[in-house]
A and B are shown apart, each in its own frame.
Chain A
Amino acid sequence: MSGRIVGQSVERLEDRALLRGEARFVDDISFPGMWHVAFVRSAHAHAMILGVDVSAALDVPGVHAVLTMADLEPHLSDRLLRVALPSPAYRQELHRPVLADREVVHVGEAIAAVIADSRYIAEDAAALVMVDYDPLPVVSDCRDAMAENAPRAHRDAPHNLAAEFDMGYGDCDEAFAKAAHVFRENYWQHRGVAQSMECRGVVAALEPMSDVLTMWSSTQTPHAGKRVLCGLLGRDEDKLRVVTPDVGGGFGPKLVFYPEEAVVALAAQIYGHPIKWIEDRREHFVSTTQERDQHWDMEIAVDAQGQILGLRGTLLHDHGAYTARGVNVAYGSAAAITLPYVIPAYQLDIKLVVTNKVSVTPIRGAGQPQAVFVMERLLDRVARELKIDRAELRRRNLVAGAQIPYKTPLKTRGGMQVVLDSGDYPACMAAALERAGWEDFPRRQAAALAKGRHIGLGVANYVEGTGRGPFEPVSVRVAENGRIHVASGAAAMGQSTKTMLAQVVAEQLGCDMSNITVVAGDTGAIELGMGGFNSRQAVMAGSSAHAAALKVRQKALHVASHMLQVGEQALEIEGTAVRLKGGGAQVELAEVAKAVAGLPGYYIPGNVEPGLQATEHVIINDMTYANGTCVVEVEVDAETGLVRVSRVVFAHDCGRVLHPKIVEGQIIGGIAHGLGNALFEWMGFDENAQPVSTTLAEYLLMSSTEMPPPIEILHLESPSPLNELGIKGVGESGVIPMTAAVASAVEDALAPFGVSIAKVPINPPDLISLIHGASQEMRA
């Protein structure tokens, strides 16, 4: 399936500037005399704001303004950021205010913006802004939030239910009634922080000659941001431009539009002065959205052979304080849990509960890791109870290769049927098991145990919905100097988007990567766009790039055939020229581009539309489903509870691989994130919803010494039938099965103690308690 460029691990377009320190991240943008913003943030998880005294801050030399909501409101069409995706499931509206002025509902919520000559002065002055709070009772734990006498996370709200819905199909009652066995378990996956190495940041400047307000933001969704800002500020679309500079990692939360973007853009408009705000790491812990707190109470029904008959239960999802995106994370969980397996009856009741914590929106995986954790934990329980090998139990229940395309009764959030379009799940699992030495492991395990070592092997399957539609536009234009310019609404945040687009285009237009420039995520370069999330950009933007490049190719060949007086069939594009196949007469792409730019009073050669360019918005409504199996080996120190991951085997199918190294990089990075979720990452809050982990010394990320030996990746390649290139997304796949696989392995290693893992992250104190016969601490 490989082409000359597509399918090859070509040098990334992004690398040189990044390696030489010449990249341009948002904090690298500066204007002479630029002003800087520091935000005053709530110290309380829940309080009324009785007053804000900015006078001492205004007295600090170098301070230009201290803005509160009262200052902003006259310039805004709305006090609130109404960005929630549509859903009938909402039970109340929870839009974020641009700045909080009546009530604060989580620690870190922005109340005022101090604008000064330097960030140093702005931070000095921010400390002098006196906010008069009247603290209110706090909802810290979503499990307490629905109690009759629970305090309200928002004072005037009728309850703490943000949204509720159910998902399911089949007859669960009948399935459970006839089941040979029913098992019930509670599971919890804990909240984490995205921790892109670059925090968020915004620079905004008004260009006086054109009256265009430009916002550079470290965002995954510049076009969505522009839409929100145009509405809020009442600016015409052609008077506002949103640009993503180089972005130092996104991982989900940068897809959200934030209050700071509105405030900085508005301040630049009000004062006509360039203004910058750069989030610091402590702010990232309290103001950038988070994800993963979910409590599941689940039952599984199986027959005597372990065949799944039904799955039912409840999902309690910590929504945080506001609706910053939608019900999508919980929806993603509910729609993911069944996917790899044939499950005849399914019923899940889902409640999204408001807490006085940072709002919850997708982080890499977006609800799917939790669902996989729950499903795979349940299967391990069944296997243990029925004394069936864990892999064999899965084999009996996986959707078989011959069943693909497999039409599930589930629907996506937009109402499209979930159809597992490609792949061979049993073959994928078999490949992973074989590589990991699953069959032989009991012998190794017994030998290790004889020496007092506890080693274990775990397995988990996942199916990931990728390529969220409906489209992502790409334009391809050959300039009159022969350079090929590609622009897309796709936003690059480290996942090699520019390289991916250039590869797809180069394949059709000369195979010279050095002749291509890519602009990704600039509303000034292309009108429409969605941006980067949901493992979608290779699928959606890649498909549009392919279609646009083909059109330009067609046109170049057609025009060149007129210029060279030969048939199109005899021509090819090589390097920067259209030439006779195998060499001989040729015309440079530059000449073709000049010819179709037209001359007053003359025919355009070939009678084509002017311009050697095309813009395509390939529409693909259905998602394409990638899959994989992860096998993890661990060794657990039963004395200290320390878990060492000694091996990871990852077999996956993301369809056609555009760039093997980039695909592997995405997977390994996702695995590292997932291992962190499984073992280390803990965003702690106390009973007053005060965050207790607000530095990278308290919140532990995977470091190089915790990584297992090189990950063993096995590629299966079942092209998706849903797009021309056969691509499925891969950006989130690595993270999805990791907590499940690690838990399975730890449980296996500690089988002599009968330990059962129901919560991640798995920390040493919990493990010691479990080894000593206690149950896992299920309170935060």
Chain B
Amino acid sequence: MDSVADTRTIELRVNGKAYSRPAPVRMTLSDFLRHELKLTGTHVGCEHGVCGACTILFDGRSARSCLMLAVQANGHEITTVEGLANGKDMHPLQAALSDHHGLQCGFCTPGMLTTLVELLNDNPSPSAEDVRVAISGNLCRCTGYEGIVAATLDAAQKMRAGAGGRS
């Protein structure tokens, strides 16, 4: 069982903060973020890469943290849901999700947010169809997605107009 207990020290930046931590070589990135760094905002819904709840931004691109090992994050930059707000000010997407009732139980929300932040970085003027396609790999059992799509279009419009978030 020695090999499974092996650890490597990894260095990474999460939400702008540098960490140097030992990580068991077989630990998933999602577990590392949640249980080692105590960033429990990233949720684990299926652990087989389908539900999208664990989506993070890995060097700015969306990725399933349940399908990556923590050691793969060595030397990389990660953003989780905890890193989206600017202090007390929520990201416009966060505010818009609340305005449009785009979350109910909120379990899928962190993965929705990171996925949609990437979308709006790539495409500041998405259509409703663009948004639906972007979150087609993020499952939500509560909302039927409607509020999420409406919120994203609203946030995109506000971000184009230069509005910030709100506290």
Contact = CB atoms under 8 A, between A and B. Distances in A.
A20 B85 contact: yes
Given A30-B35, A61-B1, A668 B44 contact: no
Nearest to B50: A696
B90 interface: yes
Contact of B101 (A30, A120, A198, A661): A661
B145 A704 contact: yes
Contacts of B113: 19
A19 B106 contact: yes
A767 B9 CA distance: 56
B47 A248 contact: no
Overall SS of chain A's interface:
loop
Given A11-B98, A704-B148, A25 B139 contact: no
A280 interface: yes
Contact of A27 (B1, B44, B101): B44
A496 B104 contact: yes
Nearest to A493: B105
Given A27-B44, A197-B140, A696-B51, A19 B149 contact: no
A16 B147 CA distance: 16
A665 B51 contact: no
Interface in A670-726: 671-673, 695-697, 701-705, 707, 710-711
Given A248-B107, A249-B105, A701-B139, A669 B132 contact: no
A60 B47 contact: no
B63 interface: no
Nearest to B109: A18
Contact of A19 (B35, B94, B142): B94
A512 interface: no
B53 interface: yes
A704 B101 CA distance: 16
A20 B81 contact: yes
A246 interface: yes
B140 A707 contact: no
A71 B136 CA distance: 46
Contacts, number: 178
A711 B144 contact: yes
A12 interface: yes
Interface string A166-201: 000000000000000000000000000001111100
A644 B144 CA distance: 16
Interface in B75-130: 80-82, 84-85, 90, 94, 97-98, 100-101, 103-110, 113
A701 B138 CA distance: 10
Which of A25, A27, A251, A703: most chain B CB closer than 10 A? A703
Interface in A234-288: 246-249, 251, 280-282
Interface residues of A, number: 58
B48 interface: yes
A707 B48 contact: no
Contact of A281 (B41, B47, B84, B146): B47
B146 A20 contact: no
B145 A248 contact: no
A496 to B, nearest CB: 7
A703 B136 contact: yes
A177 to B, nearest CB: 47
A281 B52 CA distance: 13
A203 B139 CA distance: 26
B108 to A, nearest CB: 5
Contacts of B40: 21, 24-25, 27-28
Interface string A638-666: 00000000000000000000000110110
A495 B103 CA distance: 10
Interface string B7-44: 00000000000000000101100000011001111111
B48 A696 contact: yes
Given A19-B109, A495-B104, A695-B50, A198 B98 contact: no
A28 B149 CA distance: 28
A665 B143 contact: yes
A395 to B, nearest CB: 29
Nearest to B24: A120
B118 to A, nearest CB: 15
Contacts of A24: 40
Contacts of A199: 45
Contacts of A248: 43, 45, 105-107
Contacts of A493: 105
B4 A124 contact: yes
Contacts of A18: 103, 105-106, 109
Which of B98, B105, B107, B138: most chain A CB closer than 10 A? B105
B78 to A, nearest CB: 13
Contact of B144 (A11, A61, A669): A669
Nearest to B113: A19
B133 interface: yes
A461 B21 CA distance: 59
6 contacts: A20-B85, A24-B40, A197-B140, A199-B45, A665-B143, A703-B136
Given A281-B45, A704-B136, A704-B148, 5 more contacts: A19-B98, A19-B109, A196-B141, A669-B142, A703-B135
Interface of B: 1, 4-5, 24, 26-27, 34-35, 38-48, 50-51, 53, 80-82, 84-85, 90, 94, 97-98, 100-101, 103-110, 113, 131-133, 135-150
